[in-house]
Structure 1
Amino acid sequence: MFRIKEVLSGTIKSLGITKQYNAQSVIVHWPEIVGEDISSHAWPISTQRGILLLAVNNSVWSHHLLSLKPEIINKINTFLNEKLIVDIRFQAGDLRKYQNHQEGEEFDSLLYPAKLGSEELADVWKATEAIKDPNLRKKCYYVLIKQTGMNKAKQNQGWQPCKRCSVLVPPRQRYCTVCSRDQQREKKEAIKKLLVEAPWFTYQEVNQFIPCSPRDFHNVKKRLIHKYIHALFESGWDKLNDAVLVMLMTGVKPDKINQAMVDTVIGKIKVRLAEKVRRKNNVLASRR
C-alpha cells in the first residue's frame, strides 16, 4: 500500500500548484506549526502574495506576536519546506469564526449549585413521590437538589437552553457539546456535497452557501481529494470523476477545463501511484 500524502505532494509539485496547496496547509496544520499556546490566541485567515493574515483575539497578543514574527515565519516555512511566507499582518477578530470550534465545550469549573428556597425544595421532593422505597427516594432527592441547584446557578449566570435541545449552555454559545458536534458533522457533509457538485469553488464561494471556517473547508476538500485518488483504480470509477478530481486539485472552472488537461493531471497522478507501488514492491522483494 502507498501513502496518498506522498503521491499527492509530488503530483501537486509537477502541476505547479504547490504554493496554493501549501497556503491551505498553513491553515489546516496551524496548531502543529506554532503550538497550542499561540493557536489558542491567533488563527490564520488567508495567505496572499507571501503575506499571512492572522486573526488575534486581543491587543496584548497582537503585540506579543509582533515580536515573535520572524520566529513564526521561520516555523511556517520550515514546516512547508518552502519560503512561502515573508510577512505577517494581524487583525482583531473572534477566532471561532476561523477555527474548527466546538461550541458547548467550554465549562466553568468554578460553577457551584445555587441554594434552593423552601418552595423549590418542596417541588424537588414532590418530583420524587413516585419512588416508593424511602432510602432510594431520599438518595434521588439529594441528587435532584444538586442538579436543580446547578441549573439555577447557570441561569443566574445567563446560561440559555441549547438551540436544538433543552440543555443549558454558557452565554454566547448556541449549542451543547452533543448538538454542536452533530451540527459540525452536518456542516462538513454539506461542504462535501457542495464541492462534489461544484469542485472548483473557493472557500469564499462555499462560505456564501454554507457558513464555515477556512479550516473546515480545507479539511473537507483535502479529504475529498484523497478519497477520489484512492478510488482511481477501483471498479465502477466514472470518467466524470476525473474532471471532478482535476477541478478539486487545481480550482479550474468547467468552462476552462478540457480533456487534455484532465488526461495530463490524471496521468501524473497514476504515474506517481505506480512509482510508489513499484518502490514498495522492490523493498519487499529485497527483504525476502
Structure 2
Amino acid sequence: MKPLKDSLNKTISSLGIREKLKEQFLINNWENIVGSKLYKICRPRKIKNGIIFIVCPSPLWVQELTFKKMEIIKKVNKKFNYKFCIDIKFVPGSLDEDYNKVSNLDSKEEYSFDYITIDKSEQNWVKNTVDSGNIEDEQLKLKIKNILEKDIRYKKKRKDLGFLICGECGRYVKPEEYSNYNKMCLICYNYFTKKRMKSIMDMLEDTPWLCRKDLEEYYNDLTSQEYNRIKKKIKDKAVDEVYKAYFAFKDKETEENYKWLKNSLNKYVFVVSGKKPDEIDNSTWQKWVKSLNKKIYEKIIKNY
C-alpha cells in the first residue's frame, strides 16, 4: 500500500466518515448557527441524505418550528457555504441527550473483527496515512486510526467470504451485486451507465443527425437498443418543444415566438430525418413538418 498524501481524505470519503465529521461540526456549532433562542428549543439529532433531523421538547414546538424551517436551512447552508441541507424533519424528544453519541464516527462499531490480524506493511500504511492528514486533534487521529484498521479487517473478512472488490469505489460486495463484465459494483455500474447515457444524449442533442455508426468512434459498446432509446427521448423532447413554441406563437404572433417555433421545427427535422443542415432542402423540411402536424405546418408557412 502506498501512503499517498490524499489517502486519508479518500478513505474518509469511502467510509462515509466525512459526513459524520460534518454532522459533528453541525452539532458542536449549532448555537452559533441558529442563535441562542432556537438553540434553547431544538437540537440536531442526525443527518441523512441532506436531511437534518432536529429534536424539539414537545409536539407543540415541532409544529411551531415548522414555520422556521426555511430560515434554519438558509443559516445552516450559509455556515457550510454550500447546499449542505435540503430539508429538515422535526421530531419530539429530550434536549438533554448526549449528542456526541448520536454522531459516532465509527461506522462499523456494531461488528467485531479484532481477531483478524493486520500485517506490518498495513500497520505502516495506516500510520503514514493518518500522519499525512496533518490532524492536530490527537483523539480524532486515534479514532481515524482505529477506523482504518477496522476497515482493513472488515475487507479481509469480506474477501474470505467470497465478496468481490469494485474497481471504482473499492467496496467489497456480494457476487450478485457485482458486474463481472465491467468489474464494478452495481451501484457504480448504474452511476456510470447513467453518466454515459447522458453524455451520449448531450452529443446527439447537439448533433442529432449522428447515426449509431458515427458514435462508435466515441462509444464502441453502444448497442442499437440504447441508441434507439436515446433517439426516442430526443425526438419526444423535440416534439414537446415544438408544441410549446407553437402554442406560444398562436397566442402571441411576435417575432421572438416565431423564431422559437422555427428553430424548434428545425431541431425536430434534424432529429427525425437524420440529415445534416446542408442536406435538408425546402421540400424535405416541409415534408417532415407536415407529417408532424398540418396545423403547425400551415401556421409556419403562412408566416414564412
Does 1 or 2 have the higher relative contact order (CA < 8 Å, sep 6+)?
1
TM-score (norm 2): 0.38
Whichever of the two has the greater Rg, that structure is 2
